[in-house]
Amino acid sequence: MKQKTILIIEDNPMNMEMATDLLEIAEYNVLKAENAEDGIQIARNTEQLDLILMDIALPGMDGIEATRVLKKDDKTKNIPIVALTAHAMKDDNDAALEVGCSGYITKPINTRTFATAVGHFFSPHIKGKGEGYFIHYL
């Protein structure tokens, strides 16, 4: 099976490093952006991108607006986007789903379940709540 490529858009260096390490251990190819603008450019310029993990609270353009931009672009509109949201920010979760995210994973990142949670987003028949993430297919 072809290795999946995931773009992480996250401004917190510790979260970025942890997510990258966990996904690389799980044998995903990982691309990284520290802000929405760079993430949008990477998404537009990457030949095969399978998933975007989008922090909602980004400096400048936030993750909600970046998702809107990506979902309006013919090149990127079909790439699933999963929001990375703070556990306490339920409004962020709802807003992420409203703009077209396939679901969300709450932070802080659970190191034991993160890669498995991400993997669930590649199985469109799976719906439901799990530990620290919610899979919602529109």
Domain ranges for the chain? 5-135
CA distances from 112 to 17, 18, 53, 120 (A): 15, 11, 17, 14
Measured CA to CA, the distance from residue 67 to residue 52 in angstroms comes to 10
> Which secondary-structure segment (H or E) carries 8?
strand 5-9
Pick the CATH number of 5-135 from 3.40.50.2300, 3.40.50.10800, 3.40.50.740, 3.30.750.80: 3.40.50.2300
pTM over 0.85: yes
Measured CA to CA, the distance from residue 10 to residue 58 in angstroms comes to 7
Res 50: pLDDT: 95
> Mean per-residue pLDDT for 16-24?
97
Res 126: pLDDT: 45
Which residue did the predictor score with more confidence, 91 or 52?
52
Average confidence score pLDDT of the chain: 86
**Would you state the structure tokens that stand for residue 40, as one six-digit string?**
């949008």
- Over the stretch 26-41, which tens digit does the pLDDT of each residue have? 999 999 999 999 999 9
- Over the stretch 38-85, which tens digit does the pLDDT of each residue have? 999 999 999 999 999 999 999 999 999 999 999 999 999 999 999 998
